[in-house]
A and B are shown apart, each in its own frame.
Chain A
């Protein structure tokens, strides 16, 4: 398929999942404020930290505002200068979709276009004020529906593979961030066991994982078991392991036998990596499998997550270069697609 189109498919999948994930994270944090007996500030500030937005947030609103639930929700929902806000993500997803209108199905386009138009309505702003839960539910349902429509109506060929690859790669980052929130929440002050449980449950909800976690663990909520579940559960579609394995298998379908084409020497990116993205993903999966065998305590989880997030980011950059395909002439303009597809990492 056309390289530019592959890139847009990839980012369409990423933005869709990002919008859903942000909505879910905000919703779960709202619940946490009621359930856990910890200062409100301690609930909201970690959310800004893990989204990678703390520096720009503080610059605009000041450090003390980072604990203000309303301000954080507004920033993470509506702020267009925040690349990871719901509004930005939906708009970016819709822009991508518009550029691959000939590749995605009509139903899929209608869904994302209607979500975009809905966000721009005055009545939606009122709904946000009046019934916040319903607002987030609408965003979640609409993005989930869109991803479902993708699988239900598009040819299961390369465009869908790139789209789903983007979704999986995004999810690795999102789940890792959500897990990392625990690290930041608890870093502020050592907490009581009951609080711990509330925080862990909240994280599971933020990943749509509370019910399925219970199925696997029969109600035993410990730091160890929750972390294990979100990191390694091979059957949970939002665990790091599941998402990375899925990414690996999609990449091997796109470029069988890791025969990804030579990355184009890109003037904007100095390091040309020798290993191909399927190989690199394979290695990351293996590394994670090793960690699963020896995983005993949540101490050190922050370092593990950092490694996964950094390496996934590098793989993502690599995919972008490989998508351009081998080129036999001088003329390329990949810089253009880069600006449209902004990474949050």
Chain B
């Protein structure tokens, strides 16, 4: 039905002229023969009707709108506190409805297992007793906090907010690349990108695209559902490190859209195992803290006696069950890169189910056999340090120099626990505006869906944040290293579409 919208030979130059998907990678919008994928046909035709000049103007309008509204992130390396926008490409990434439903079920399953794992590991540790995952690896992780063992999470859910990074391989299969169950960020860009698309290209949207704007309402409901007191008596706050944090815009965005107060650590204090916020009318109780600061800076008396940041004695109030921290402290051992290879085992162990989402085969350098393989194949593999994020501390084997490989060999042998390795996945691509060439080119993308979890179940934001490597040929999508983002359109599933309507891979 969508092919009728598709204009094979437009009379004017279009941004898609000469567009060809990369060999060996799955393109989200265009098939090998240059025709749009059926589910993306409408979006394709909207952009095919624009001239490159018109698309460029739209891009400029979009960027101006983000800049004027202060939708920016702060650049740490710049001492002047410069703010930059997270560049957006207006050509959306479109996901077919039935495909998304499968992804959604897989995400819920994964979060359910990870939540059970955290409760177990900070409780009876049955999974270790049963040898379903290696105890030394889990308990030896820097991210495991032994002092939290025996403390029940108030509210009962440790991972209330998760951002799971997905990639799509050359067959078009979604795979989990990484779990983020501490303080995942980026959701504000999802909402802002949609707002900008509606403003700049109103003709592009229609009702077949599932909305995203309900996220803050769902999030607020999640915070209330996890409160130690009744929802109507609950005072929830969002705790930010302050305006110099790179994600500060997002903190203000979420606080504003939920109608809760944005606080800094110095606004809070603990007395008698209860948390209060300083107000112009004296102290007020706080029941739920959506904290966007790392464990290390939560409570100097618990985590880092040398730190001046944080709220002293916060962990006492937490242990007493008087305040819910979202997400729970100590979650780092569930999204540790060295623990990641065992998540399918956790799903088996806790739920008795087969994992619905594939992940990337991973070599754990702490294992002798894996290590030997990794050291022999450094030129083919992507090696990652388990405690680094943001695309740092990586060896991209196929693009590496001999010196870099030798350096990593030394490092791996010195601290095998610190490294994992994976075969490089050909990330899927999406047509993306290249301002220098004034046309669209295939650029690699990933996807971070957001999952909210309450005691009665999970809710998944339709789509999520599509990050794109704007540099031609690059695999790195991180905002700190030249990444941008795209609006992600999940199409409503046809009610009677068969669940196996998966597209033919190329």
Contact with A along B230-259 (1 / 0, CB 8 A): 000000000000110000110011011000
Bin the interface of chain A by size: 20 to 34
- B279→A325 contact, CB < 8 A: yes
Q: Is B150 an interface residue (CB 8 A)?
A: no
Those of A78-103 within 8 Å (CB) of chain B: 95, 98-99, 101-102
- A1→B280 contact, CB < 8 A: yes
The distance in angstroms between the C-alpha atoms of A5 and B69, with both chains bound, is 20
Quick one: which of B248, B253, B262, B269 contacts A331, CB cutoff 8 A? B269
Complex contacts, A162 vs chain B, CB 8 Å: 280
The distance in angstroms between the C-alpha atoms of A270 and B279, with both chains bound, is 23
- B252→A3 contact, CB < 8 A: no
- A102→B256 contact, CB < 8 A: yes
> Smallest Cβ distance from B497 to chain A, in angstroms?
39
Contact of A102 with B261 at beta-carbon distance under 8 Å, contacts A158-B280, A327-B278, A328-B271 already known: yes
Quick one: which of A5, A109, A261, A329 contacts B282, CB cutoff 8 A? A261
- A113→B278 contact, CB < 8 A: no
> Smallest Cβ distance from B29 to chain A, in angstroms?
32
Bin the interface of chain B by size: 20 to 34
Contact of A6 with B271 at beta-carbon distance under 8 Å, contacts A102-B256, A102-B261 already known: no
- A98→B266 contact, CB < 8 A: no
- A1→B283 contact, CB < 8 A: no
Contact of A102 with B278 at beta-carbon distance under 8 Å, contacts A4-B264, A325-B283 already known: no
Complex contacts, B266 vs chain A, CB 8 Å: 4, 331-333, 336
Those of A151-185 within 8 Å (CB) of chain B: 158, 162
Contact of A325 with B278 at beta-carbon distance under 8 Å, contacts A2-B261, A102-B261, A113-B68 already known: yes
Complex contacts, A101 vs chain B, CB 8 Å: 70, 249, 252-253, 256, 262
Contact of A4 with B267 at beta-carbon distance under 8 Å, contacts A158-B280, A325-B279, A328-B283 already known: yes
Q: Is B281 an interface residue (CB 8 A)?
A: yes
Contact with B along A307-324 (1 / 0, CB 8 A): 000000000000000111
> Smallest Cβ distance from A250 to chain B, in angstroms?
12
- A110→B68 contact, CB < 8 A: yes
Chain A: CB-nearest residue to B67: A117
The distance in angstroms between the C-alpha atoms of A158 and B68, with both chains bound, is 27
Q: Is B312 an interface residue (CB 8 A)?
A: yes
- B68→A2 contact, CB < 8 A: no
A2, A323, A324 — most chain B CB neighbours (10 Å): A2
Q: Is B277 an interface residue (CB 8 A)?
A: yes
Contact of A110 with B264 at beta-carbon distance under 8 Å, contacts A1-B279, A254-B280 already known: no
Chain A: CB-nearest residue to B242: A99
Q: Do most interface residues of chain B lie in helix, strand or loop, or is the interface mixed?
A: mixed
Complex contacts, A1 vs chain B, CB 8 Å: 261, 279-280
Q: Is B325 an interface residue (CB 8 A)?
A: no
Chain A: CB-nearest residue to B65: A110
Complex contacts, A329 vs chain B, CB 8 Å: 269-271
Complex contacts, A3 vs chain B, CB 8 Å: 267, 278-280
> Smallest Cβ distance from A8 to chain B, in angstroms?
10
Q: Is B90 an interface residue (CB 8 A)?
A: no
Q: Is A106 an interface residue (CB 8 A)?
A: yes
- B243→A2 contact, CB < 8 A: no
> Smallest Cβ distance from B277 to chain A, in angstroms?
6
Chain A: CB-nearest residue to B81: A95
The distance in angstroms between the C-alpha atoms of A254 and B68, with both chains bound, is 33
- A99→B243 contact, CB < 8 A: yes
The distance in angstroms between the C-alpha atoms of A37 and B248, with both chains bound, is 54
The distance in angstroms between the C-alpha atoms of A122 and B70, with both chains bound, is 20
The distance in angstroms between the C-alpha atoms of A5 and B262, with both chains bound, is 9
Q: Is A211 an interface residue (CB 8 A)?
A: no
Contact of A325 with B271 at beta-carbon distance under 8 Å, contacts A110-B69, A331-B312 already known: no
Complex contacts, A109 vs chain B, CB 8 Å: 69-70
The distance in angstroms between the C-alpha atoms of A99 and B264, with both chains bound, is 10
- A325→B280 contact, CB < 8 A: yes
> Smallest Cβ distance from A150 to chain B, in angstroms?
16
The distance in angstroms between the C-alpha atoms of A106 and B266, with both chains bound, is 26
- B279→A2 contact, CB < 8 A: yes
Complex contacts, B253 vs chain A, CB 8 Å: 101
Chain B: CB-nearest residue to A101: B252
- B252→A102 contact, CB < 8 A: yes
- A324→B278 contact, CB < 8 A: yes
> Smallest Cβ distance from B313 to chain A, in angstroms?
9
Those of A1-34 within 8 Å (CB) of chain B: 1-6
Quick one: which of B249, B269, B270, B278 contacts A2, CB cutoff 8 A? B278
The distance in angstroms between the C-alpha atoms of A4 and B277, with both chains bound, is 10
Q: Is B263 an interface residue (CB 8 A)?
A: yes
> Smallest Cβ distance from B350 to chain A, in angstroms?
38
Those of B266-294 within 8 Å (CB) of chain A: 266-267, 269-271, 277-283
Contact with B along A34-69 (1 / 0, CB 8 A): 000000000000000000000000000000000000
- A102→B262 contact, CB < 8 A: yes
Q: Is A148 an interface residue (CB 8 A)?
A: no
Chain A: CB-nearest residue to B260: A102
- A2→B283 contact, CB < 8 A: no
B69, B267, B281 — most chain A CB neighbours (10 Å): B281
Complex contacts, B267 vs chain A, CB 8 Å: 2-4
Those of B21-73 within 8 Å (CB) of chain A: 67-70
The distance in angstroms between the C-alpha atoms of A273 and B11, with both chains bound, is 79
Complex contacts, B69 vs chain A, CB 8 Å: 106, 109-110, 113
Q: Is A114 an interface residue (CB 8 A)?
A: yes
B242, B243, B249 — most chain A CB neighbours (10 Å): B243
The distance in angstroms between the C-alpha atoms of A2 and B261, with both chains bound, is 8
Contact with A along B126-148 (1 / 0, CB 8 A): 00000000000000000000000
Q: Is A234 an interface residue (CB 8 A)?
A: no
> Smallest Cβ distance from A121 to chain B, in angstroms?
12
> Smallest Cβ distance from B290 to chain A, in angstroms?
13
Complex contacts, A326 vs chain B, CB 8 Å: 282-283
Known: A4-B278, A98-B70, A101-B252. 4 other contacts (CB 8 A): A1-B280, A101-B262, A110-B68, A113-B70
A contacts, CB < 8 Å to B: 1-6, 95, 98-99, 101-102, 106, 109-110, 113-114, 117, 158, 162, 254, 261, 322-329, 331-333, 336
7 nearest A-B pairs in the assembled complex, by CB-CB distance: A101-B252, A102-B255, A333-B266, A102-B256, A102-B262, A3-B278, A6-B280
In the assembled complex, 27 residue pairs joining A and B whose CB atoms fall closer than 8 Å, in A order, are A2-B278, A3-B278, A3-B279, A3-B280, A4-B266, A6-B280, A95-B243, A98-B243, A99-B242, A99-B243, A101-B253, A101-B262, A102-B261, A102-B262, A117-B67, A261-B282, A323-B280, A325-B278, A325-B279, A325-B281, A325-B283, A327-B278, A328-B283, A329-B269, A331-B266, A332-B266, A336-B266
